Amino acid sequence: MGGGVAYENDLNFKATELRLGLPGTGCTDEEQAVSGAKSNKRPLLETREERGAKGKSDPQHDDQETDPAPKAQIVGWPPIRSYRKNSLQPKKAEAEAAAGMYVKVSMDGAPYLRKIDLKVYKGYPELLKALENMFKLTIGDYSEREGYKGSEYAPTYEDKDGDWMLVGDVPWDMFLTSCKKLRIMKGSEARGLGCGV
Amino acid sequence: MNYFPDEVLEHIFDFVTSQRDRNSVSQVCKPWYKIESSSRQKVFVGNCYAISPERVIERFPGLKSITLKGKPHFADFNLVPHDWGGFVHPWIDAFARNNMGLEELKLKRMVISDDSLELISRSFANFKSLVLVSCEGFSTDGLAAIASNCSFLRELDLQENDVEDHRGHWLSCFPDTCTSLVSLNFACLKGDVNLAALVRLVARSPNLRSLRLNHAVPLDILQKILMRAPHLVDLGVGSYVHDPDSETYNKLVTALRKCKSVKSLSGFLEAAPQCLPAFHLICPNLTSLNLSYAPGIHGTELRKLIRHCRKLQRLWILDCIGDEGLEVVAATCKDLQEIRVFPSDPFVGNAAVTEVGLVALSSGCPKLHSILYFCQQMTNAALITVAKNSPNFTRFRLCILDPTKPDAVTNQPLDEGFGAIVQSCKGLRRLSMSGLLTDQVFLYIGMYAEQLEMISIAFAGDTDKGMQYLLNGCKKLRKLEIRDCPFGNAALLMDVGKYETMRSLWMSSCNVTLGGCKSLAKKMPMLNVEIINETDQMDISADDEQKVEKMFLYRTLAGRRKDAPEFVWTL
């Protein structure tokens, strides 16, 4: 189309090389210098990290690290009216709402398990309160650095990969989709999970 | 011309209908200004904050019909906080107090309360038409007021509004004496309606030509309605789930046979595809088909339906039609002018159409000039082909669900593809782009898109140059909206006078700083530069180096608005 642009002046084989993974990932310094910072991925990341820091729940920015195709939801993308978005999902949403999301809750040392419906809780504080009530214990306060301080219990959950995770690290919506069951760990095992993990 | 009596001039001006033309007429000389202003009946206000209602009333005392738009376009996508503004009440209030003979009101992206609806219904004896698009703030109680009090109501058209539904009695509020309805669209209402009242209303409305039902109207009622309104031109089917062998279905087929005038079809909000054959009867006459709210219609049933629609000019569809389905459209609908392909599963982000469908449409439909296309992927080669096949595009909106995805085959940015589009489509007025895009695409747009009036950009560009190319090149630009692009103060402040030639500029998640915005506001007193600050992290005396999350600026004769909420600062 006429007119050279900075990054096209070199025979930039790297740019035309077929690779798996998105452009911008695995970028060398040389490429960056030539292309004048092909930084289209960065605004996306920056924005979502900024948003994460501000505490908005929409972007599940963890996905960016684990999943090369950013299927995580960006605010306002795809650009369709909320009316339309909502009208396409009502059946699904209704069905899910009706069905509830029951997961087993076990507590170390308890004779039997319980079940709770995660859908009735709006967020972590409510869930933890409910667990405290159900098992008559205190769970303590969550901090990213130290897990649950001030109690000998730590709430954990088994995720889709089968790993035991500390409750509270990921955004609530992400937790809802990945939690398979809950376990309230007690004593030394709990403390092990809380520190330096 | 000054020896013509005013009445003659006025009569001549009656033939000038477009607002732009009338604006030109009014600028010729003072007498023409006076006559044109006093005789103008219809006004379009693209930004309700650009001018005060009092000023509009003063200039156009004979005003009968007004269109008002409120929130910025990106409000549709949840980028504008809920209480940002767009309140219509001051306008209604001003019109009522000044005894304006208002007959038609059309609102888009505005907030209208039940009180305002009530005020409308009581203040304007000749009120005939209410069209609300993407509005909110009202309930079915407000609709009841309109129904009860507007004796000559011709049109009640509710498109995609967020309406609080108090269940159904509003329809019964149309008095028995109301027989003037021409158009009734309540498809967006979520609640039940009084079905018997609906049937009676249709029966006593001989002029009814357009009727769009909501999901609460079942098949047997639809059949009754069609029997009483065989002259319908535009039909929105509500709920369409039924056993095709039943008597009701057969009655429906009989009723549809009588509906020879239906040219526009929509709805099918809950649809069993096996019942569609009943509509094959009217497909050959259809010029407009909207199945974008009918996820239940796809596959072979959908393709069968499309194959009957040879006269289609406008098609709104979901992407579950697939590339294959679009090929059927391309083969069948040779008169197609506008197509919109929406994503059927926006949350998962797996669109079922690709560049293949787009190319098929451009090859098969020579009259195609307006497209909105949500797709999985795109290639430069496809866009270049489309540009060659279809130089007549006036509106071209492409949305790749993964917003920074490169050419699916070559992994290159899509600059060349979009460049081809703007170079070939000399009449292009509206453009939305997505995919991996560098500054280069903006160079092309600035160079070639001479008629471009509105452009939407997301996750594109590398440096300020991108935005600068755009502002420099597109002389007719009116609306520019940008999100998540690396454009900063250098671009924003390059040509501040430009913004007075435009309606508005939106920039969110870019690199403009508070200092840059302040500087712009200082230089341009005729602009409202609004900062939307949602997170309380910024305060007005804060560091000017801080980036602004959301900025919306617009030209205005009304000064800073008085209804701005706490989180909106006008600099």
Residue-wise pLDDT for B402-461, tens only, equals: 999 999 999 999 999 999 999 999 999 999 999 999 999 999 999 999 999 999 999 999
pLDDT in tens, A153-179: 888 998 877 888 888 888 888 888 888
- The stretch B457-466 carries a mean pLDDT of 96
Interchain CB contact of A54 with B (< 8 Å): yes
Q: Which residue of B has its CA nearest to A38?
A: B462
Q: Which among A23, A42, A78 is the nearest to B346, CB-wise?
A: A78
CA B405 to chain A, closest CA, distance in angstroms equals 8
List of chain A residues whose C-beta atoms are within 8 Å of the C-beta of residue B269: 87
Are the Cβ atoms of B411 and A16 closer than 8 angstroms? Answer: yes
Q: How many CB pairs under 8 A join A and B?
A: 121
CA distance B144 to B121: 10
Q: Say whether pLDDT at A143 is over 70.
A: yes
pLDDT in tens, B214-257: 999 988 899 999 999 999 999 999 887 766 667 888 888 999 99
Could you tell me the domains of chain A? 102-190 (3.10.20.90)
Are the Cβ atoms of B412 and A16 closer than 8 angstroms? Answer: yes
CA distance B265 to B286: 7
Q: What is the pLDDT at residue A90?
A: 58
List of chain A residues whose C-beta atoms are within 8 Å of the C-beta of residue B73: none
Q: What is the pLDDT at residue B250?
A: 87
Q: Say whether pLDDT at A39 is over 80.
A: no
Q: Is B283 left (phi over 0), alpha (psi -120 to 50) or beta?
A: alpha
Nearest to B386 by CA among B425, B428, B329, B433: B425
pLDDT band at B568 (very low <50, low <70, confident <90, very high): confident
Per DSSP, the three-state class of B208 is coil
Are the Cβ atoms of A71 and B535 closer than 8 angstroms? Answer: no
Q: Which residue of B has its CA nearest to A79?
A: B77
Are the Cβ atoms of B76 and A78 closer than 8 angstroms? Answer: no
Q: What is the pLDDT at residue B504?
A: 96
Q: Say whether pLDDT at B52 is over 60.
A: yes
Q: Which among B342, B423, B437 is the nearest to A80, CB-wise?
A: B342
CA A45 to chain B, closest CA, distance in angstroms equals 10
CA B188 to chain A, closest CA, distance in angstroms equals 9
CA B86 to chain A, closest CA, distance in angstroms equals 17
Considering the entire predicted model, what is its pTM? 0.77
Q: Is B354 left (phi over 0), alpha (psi -120 to 50) or beta?
A: beta
Please state the length of chain A.
197
pLDDT in tens, B309-320: 999 999 999 998
Q: What is the pLDDT at residue B238?
A: 85
Q: What is the pLDDT at residue A61?
A: 39
Q: Which among A3, A23, A47 is the nearest to B484, CB-wise?
A: A47
Are the Cβ atoms of A78 and B134 closer than 8 angstroms? Answer: no
List of chain A residues whose C-beta atoms are within 8 Å of the C-beta of residue B439: 5
Q: Which residue of A has its CA nearest to B348?
A: A71
The dihedral formed by the CA atoms of A76, A80, A85 and A86, expressed in degrees to the nearest 10 = 80
Q: Say whether pLDDT at A45 is over 50.
A: no
Share of chain B above pLDDT 70, in %: 96
DSSP string of A88-157, one letter each residue: HSHHHHHHHHHH--EEEEEETT-SS-EEEEGGG-SSHHHHHHHHHHHHT----EEETTTEEETSSEEEEE
Q: Say whether pLDDT at B120 is over 80.
A: yes
Q: Which residue of A has its CA nearest to B162?
A: A83
Are the Cβ atoms of B346 and A85 closer than 8 angstroms? Answer: yes
Q: What is the pLDDT at residue A113?
A: 86
Are the Cβ atoms of B484 and A43 closer than 8 angstroms? Answer: yes
Range in A27-36, B65-74, B279-288, B340-349 with the lowest mean pLDDT: A27-36
Q: What is the pLDDT at residue B460?
A: 96
Q: What is the pLDDT at residue B353?
A: 93
List of chain A residues whose C-beta atoms are within 8 Å of the C-beta of residue B443: 3, 5
Are the Cβ atoms of B404 and A22 closer than 8 angstroms? Answer: yes
Q: What is the pLDDT at residue A13?
A: 54
Q: What is the pLDDT at residue B552?
A: 96
List of chain B residues whose C-beta atoms are within 8 Å of the C-beta of residue A82: 76-78, 162
Q: Say whether pLDDT at A195 is over 80.
A: no
For residue B36, what are the CA distances in angstroms to B8, B39, B198, B453?
12, 5, 42, 26
Are the Cβ atoms of B404 and A73 closer than 8 angstroms? Answer: no
CA distance A179 to A127: 13
User: Is the N-terminal amide bond of B565 cis, ω within 30° of 0?
Assistant: no
* Buried b / exposed e along A40-51 (16+ C-beta atoms within 10 A): bbebbebbbebb
How much is the mean pLDDT over chain B?
92
DSSP state letter for B174: S
Nearest to A34 by CA among A21, A53, A15, A16: A15
Share of chain A above pLDDT 90, in %: 2
Could you tell me the domains of chain B? 1-40 (1.20.1280.50), 46-208 (3.80.10.10)
CA A64 from chain centre, in angstroms, equals: 10
- The stretch A31-55 carries a mean pLDDT of 38
User: What does the block give as tokens for B488?
Assistant: 């900063």
Q: Which among B79, B269, B486 is the nearest to A39, CB-wise?
A: B486
Q: What is the pLDDT at residue B544?
A: 84
Nearest to B414 by CA among B435, B388, B440: B435
pLDDT in tens, A54-76: 333 344 433 334 444 444 578 88
- The stretch B358-372 carries a mean pLDDT of 97
Q: What is the pLDDT at residue B556?
A: 94
List of chain A residues whose C-beta atoms are within 8 Å of the C-beta of residue B188: 83
List of chain A residues whose C-beta atoms are within 8 Å of the C-beta of residue B402: 69-71
Q: What is the pLDDT at residue A109?
A: 82
List of chain A residues whose C-beta atoms are within 8 Å of the C-beta of residue B346: 78, 80, 85, 88
pLDDT band at B543 (very low <50, low <70, confident <90, very high): confident
CA distance A142 to A149: 7
Cross-strand bridge partners of residue B457: B482
List of chain B residues whose C-beta atoms are within 8 Å of the C-beta of residue A27: none
- The stretch B385-399 carries a mean pLDDT of 96
Q: Which among B295, B406, B411 is the nearest to A88, CB-wise?
A: B295
pLDDT in tens, B92-107: 999 999 999 999 999 9
| Higher pLDDT, residue A120 or B564 | B564
Q: Yes or no: say if B371 and B387 are a contact pair by the CB < 8 Å rule.
A: no
How much is the mean pLDDT over chain A?
66
Task: Name residues 76-135 of chain A within 8 A of B (Cβ).
Answer: 76-85, 87-89
Q: What is the pLDDT at residue B316?
A: 97
pLDDT band at B140 (very low <50, low <70, confident <90, very high): very high
Q: Which residue of A has its CA nearest to B534?
A: A54
Q: Say whether pLDDT at B168 is over 90.
A: no
- What is the enclosing helix (H) or strand (E) of B322? helix B322-332
pLDDT band at A110 (very low <50, low <70, confident <90, very high): confident
Q: What is the pLDDT at residue A130?
A: 87
List of chain B residues whose C-beta atoms are within 8 Å of the C-beta of residue A43: 459, 484-486, 509
Q: Which among B293, B443, B509 is the nearest to A87, CB-wise?
A: B293
